[in-house]
Amino acid sequence: MVESSIQPQGWGRFSANVRPKWASYVCSMVIVLQFLMQSAEADPVLGTSRGYCRPVTIANNKTQDCCLPEPKRPPIPFKLPTNPIMRVRRPAHELAQDVEYVNKYNLAYTRMKALPDDDPRSFLRQWHTHCSFCVEAFLSRYLNGTATPYPLQLHFSWTFLPWHRMLIYFHERILGSLIDDPEFALPFWNWDNQLDPTAGQVPQIFLPYPAGSAFNNPFLHEGKVRNTNHLPPKVLPLDYNAIDEAAGVVNTPEEIKDANLCMVWNMVYNKVSAQEFLGGKYNTSANLGAQGNVTVGESGGAESLHNTAHEWVGMMNNAQFPDNEDMGVFTYAGRDPIFYSHHANVDRLWDVWQTLPDKVTEDGTRTRKEFDDVDFLETEFTFYDENQDMVRVKVKDTLSSEKLGYTYQDMSAADRLWIDHKPQTSRPSFRTTQMAYSPNDYPEVVLNANNTIGSTPVCFKLARRPPNRDDLKGTQVKHIGELSEGLLIEKVMVPEMMYVRFDVYVDFPTANMESDVDKSDYVGSFTHLPSGVTSMKDVTAQVPVADEDLFRELNIRFSIGTALRRIGIKDYSTDITVTVVPKFRPGDENKTITFANLKQEFC
């Protein structure tokens, strides 16, 4: 059969067997062009600085120089290991009696502590790595090496989880190399585990050993600043309230367990989108104005949940430790070895989050996945490795722990407790109840029109509407039914030196300090950990600002769709009441936090 010499319009002289190749080429070019256009139109991809570092000002007019030594060799690109020896991280509370492991762990840290201070693998420099990248010691830079005028902060955005993952990745590899054990793995502090009553205690591996013990490593125990009121048998309460503690309020083990399950369910399981769990986009064009406001995006559920353990372990209400050190403040957190095991569990929860089914959205078919934004995937971090080489790591190489060569001991039995948790039944919304109710039970809501959060509970009105196709823009889903309904508090002016916590309830206008978080109308908590930096005037070229005028400007997001359905509100046209219950530290009761707007948003 003779082929016709007539070609279909648009294909020119190409024969039929060449058309698929040509189509593939055209598609490839379109994808490349789209990639380049996205890169060009988006904010510049963030590159962490390898220069532009300076000491930071801390309490009592002192400075802390957290800057890292210059690399002896040119930085090298990170490469995922091929056929790696899989390191298995185990829960710290199960390792207390493993003499072989604990002695190996102690030896690794003893050798790290013995390294000279100018060695980037030394414990001092491991601490400084966290300090420098998390308290604005560096200026950020673009990938071409050009410095920006903006301080670098790896919290409060989508950089939080991947950066900390690689921090402990290299920390773990350095420890293993110091004892010639490529299988060495850090333990994780399994504080979300409510199946084992000891899991949420400060693990024994971090406490002084009794006389005659088979273990010995003073470095792990001496000189570490921790709250002695929170040592075993105390269990970390993830809804920790310093004011209640100061007043002598004591919760039962069962109350702590239920609250902890509810907290993890809300801050991990109920966060179905990447933005809800990982945090908002890093703002590389942050506005550092006359009041020192730094906009770096928004914290995700993982970060806000993890802040509680920092606060609880750190020293508090002690004049000798004004910064709540060690764990209670960014500046010093990295000098307590428990920090690395705490973050190992945060990292583990990221792995678990990736596998969770969607029982949050109306369709229930959404797949949990990381951002596919170019600025996220191409963001670059720099770390020192076990060979003292500075390594450039991109976020796209951090998204799978297994590809990085480590995994976690299976904790699915304990995880199922918070995955399957159902908040205790609470009264339905006063808008939907069919029963008569007393005005004393549901008093008239007095709405706050000043957009302020002070020392007492405050109510706001949230206008709602159904989602539409415009809400799909910028998300990772194609169907309206897969969108997660959220409450967004915009441009919250958080005092930089203040530990902030507030709980949020929907259509529960009488919520107060005593209200139980393990209820259907509770939608989550926001926590803010002080950086320890008392002034940015030495870190930026901007005008000096007084400490009391130093604020961090954040967006704060809460997932509300599941809670509304549980209390009987299924109509998107129903406006609701949002109650914010502040739980500040003793001494901060008179502080006021302002914000720009409160609105419904889908993601």
**Total Cβ atoms within 10 A of residue 51:** 11
| pLDDT computed for residue 360 by the predictor | 94
pLDDT digits (tens, 9 = 90+) for 447-500: 666 899 998 999 999 999 999 999 999 899 999 999 999 999 998 988 877 888
Q: What is the pLDDT of residue 438?
A: 47
**Pairing, β 485-495 against β 294-295:** unpaired
Average confidence (pLDDT) over 529-534: 63
Q: Decide: 326 and 224 in contact? Cβ < 8 Å.
A: yes
> Tell me: the pLDDT tens digits for 271-308?
999 999 999 988 754 434 334 444 457 899 999 999 99
What contacts 346, CB < 8 A, 6 or more positions away? 161, 164, 302, 306
pLDDT score recorded for residue 442? 47
Residues 70, 50: Cα–Cα separation, whole Å: 8
For 101-144, how does the pLDDT look when each residue is reduced to its tens digit (9 = 90+)?
999 999 999 999 999 999 999 999 999 999 988 877 887 777 77
> Which residues touch 98 (CB under 8 Å, ≥6 apart)?
none
Amino acid at 591: K
For tokens 């950066």, what's the residue? Answer: 163
Residue 437: pLDDT band with limits 50, 70, 90: very low
- Verify cis geometry, omega within 30 degrees of 0, for the bond prior to 470: no
* Residues 485, 560 contacting (CB under 8 angstroms): yes
Which of 308-325 are b and which e, b meaning 16 or more Cβ less than 10 Å from the residue's Cβ? bbbbbbbbbeeeebebbb
CATH architecture of 452-602: Sandwich (2.60)
The residue among 451 and 243 whose pLDDT is bigger is: 451
Window from 340-344, 402-406, 566-570 with minimum mean pLDDT: 566-570
Region of 82 on the Ramachandran plot (φ > 0 left; ψ -120 to 50 alpha; else beta)? beta
Q: Per mean pLDDT, which range of 27-41, 204-218, 249-263 is the poorest?
A: 27-41
Instruction: Supply the pTM of this predicted model.
Output: 0.88
pLDDT at residue 160 is higher than 90: yes
